């Protein structure tokens, strides 16, 4: 049975898409069967997976709104070595149409049912807002992975985000777990980043991944070559960090995750 992990943070530019693409590729490299779902109309995860978002025949729009069978929407075995459900500008319309649909929060969850036995991991790259698409991701997920940058006010933002996730979870998905909090674009020479990182560990304890994603230009460059960092420069610190993260996720799977729902 696939583990469904939503990668969410309503803030933009915190490394959600970079994490989604590189963790999916790293997990696929460990021979797990992986599906990456792009839920962001910007389609950045799609492009970074080597799929031209303008050429995609079907996207999450067809899956969520037109109820196209999931097998017809999945792009099999991308150059990034995982399967993909693409996104592009059409997905903006999905966000609007969802508002007026029956059982609108659980459309993704229902759509995924037929392939849940096939995959080991399904990652969902969320848009930078808490809209209906993100609600669908959180309703479909077993757990949520929250990437964050260790900067000013990061902790406040994270506490607010966790609150929102908990409230949402109690309505649409009481079983939702916190997969983990991931420090991204980390610069160990920056004192503020170190301070925030320490506070983060105090507040969120074991939920914070030991693996830290460094600021690494290869991670930023790889998407313009339409590939995850491990295929662009496998010896880069960024590629290695995401491989380590995949390992940590696998090891954590053997332990129990913390519930997201407020008790
Ligand atoms: P989000 O999906 O949360 O909006 P992205 O993953 O698109 O964030 O990252 C925002 C920008 O920062 C992108 O240009 C991306 O290439 C860059 N970036 C992300 N992670 C790193 C990193 N660890 N080091 C350097 N640049 C990064
Ligand atoms: Mg993104």
What digits encode the pLDDT tens for the residues 12-63?
999 999 999 999 999 999 999 999 999 999 999 999 999 999 999 999 999 9
**Would you place residue 255 in the very low, low, confident or very high pLDDT band (cuts 50, 70, 90)?**
confident
Query: First CA to last CA across the chain, in angstroms?
Result: 27
Which pLDDT does position 199 carry in this prediction?
92
User: Alpha-carbon distance 179 to 261, whole Å?
Assistant: 13
Of all atoms in ligand 1, which is nearest to the CA of residue 44?
7
Ligand 2 centroid to Cα of residue 20, in Å, is: 9
Q: Residue 260: what pLDDT?
A: 80
Give the model confidence (pLDDT) of 139-191 as tens digits.
Answer: 999 999 999 999 888 888 888 889 988 898 899 999 999 999 999 999 989 99
- For residues 63-88, average pLDDT: 97
Pocket of ligand 1 (CB under 6 A): 12-18, 44, 128, 184-185, 213, 215-216, 219-220, 223, 238
Ligand 2 centroid – CA 125 distance (Å): 7
Counting ligands in written order, the one closest to the CA of 15 is 1
From 68, 5, 12, 3, select the one nearest 184 (Cα to Cα): 12
Residue 185 CA, ligand 1 centroid: distance in Å: 8
> Do 243 and 29 meet the contact criterion of CB atoms below 8 Å apart?
yes
**What are the residue boundaries of the structural domains of the chain, listed by start?**
3-253
- 186 C-alpha to ligand 2 centroid (Å): 18
> Which class is domain 3-253?
alpha beta
Model confidence at 262, in pLDDT bands (50, 70, 90)?
low
64 pLDDT exceeds 80? Answer: yes
- Integer Cα distance of 80 and 78 in angstroms: 5
Residue 50 has what pLDDT? 97
* Three-state DSSP class for residue 74: coil
**Chain length of the chain:** 263
Q: What local confidence, expressed as pLDDT, does residue 113 receive?
A: 97
pLDDT in tens, 201-252: 999 999 999 999 999 999 999 999 999 999 999 999 999 999 999 999 999 8
Say how many C-beta atoms besides its own lie within 10 A of residue 134's C-beta: 25
In 3D, which of 31, 30, 33, 29 has the Cα closest to residue 3?
33
CA of 137 to the centre of ligand 1 (A): 20
Measured between alpha carbons, how far is 213 from 219 in angstroms, rounded to an integer? 10
Residue 86 reports pLDDT greater than 70? yes
Mean pLDDT estimate for the chain: 94
pLDDT at 130: 87
Q: How many helices (H) and strands (E) does the chain have?
A: 12, 8
Name the helix (H) or strand (E) containing 259: strand 258-259
Query: What residue ranges in 150-188 does DSSP mark as E strands?
Result: 177-186
Which atom of ligand 1 is least distant from the CA of 221? 16
Q: What is the DSSP letter of 127?
A: -
Residue nearest (by alpha carbon) to ligand 1 atom 13: 220
Centroid of ligand 1 to alpha carbon of 86 (angstroms): 19
Q: Give the closest residue (by CA) to ligand 1 atom 6.
A: 15
Give the phi and the psi of residue 119 in degrees, each rounded to 5.
Answer: -90, 155
| pLDDT over 90 (residue 102) | no
For a ligand 1 pocket test, name from 9, 15, 211 the mutation site with the most ligand atoms within 8 angstroms of its C-beta.
15
Q: Would the pLDDT of 263 be above 80?
A: no
Neighbours of ion ligand 2 (CB under 5 A): 16-17
The answer to whether residues 183 and 203 touch, using CB atoms and an 8 Å cutoff, is no
């Amino acid at each position: 049975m696939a583990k469904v992990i939503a990668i969410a943070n309503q803030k933009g530019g915190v490394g959600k898409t970079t994490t989604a693409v590189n963790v999916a590729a790293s997990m696929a490299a460990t021979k797990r069967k992986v599906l990456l779902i792009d839920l962001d109309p910007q389609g950045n995860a799609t492009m970074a997976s080597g799929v031209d978002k303008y050429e995609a025949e079907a996207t999450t729009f067809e899956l969520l709104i037109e109820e196209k069978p999931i097998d017809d929407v999945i792009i099999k075995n991308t150059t990034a070595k995982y399967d993909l459900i693409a996104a592009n500008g059409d997905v903006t319309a999905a966000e609007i149409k969802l508002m007026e649909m029956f059982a609108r929060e659980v459309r993704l969850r229902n759509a995924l049912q037929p392939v849940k036995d096939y995959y080991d991991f399904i990652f969902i790259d969320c848009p930078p807002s808490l809209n209906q698409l993100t609600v669908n991701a959180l309703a479909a997920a077993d757990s949520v992975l929250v990437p964050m940058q260790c900067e000013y006010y990061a902790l406040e933002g994270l506490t607010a985000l966790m609150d929102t996730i908990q409230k949402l979870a109690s309505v649409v998905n009481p079983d939702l777990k916190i997969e983990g909090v991931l420090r991204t674009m980390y610069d160990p020479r920056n004192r503020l980043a170190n301070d925030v990182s320490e506070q983060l560990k105090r507040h969120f304890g074991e939920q914070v991944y030991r693996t830290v994603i460094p600021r690494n230009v290869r991670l930023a460059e790889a998407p313009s070559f339409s590939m995850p960092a491990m295929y662009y420069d496998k010896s880069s610190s960024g590629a290695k960090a995401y491989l380590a993260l995949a390992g940590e996720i696998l090891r954590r799977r053997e332990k129990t995750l913390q519930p997201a729902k407020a008790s």
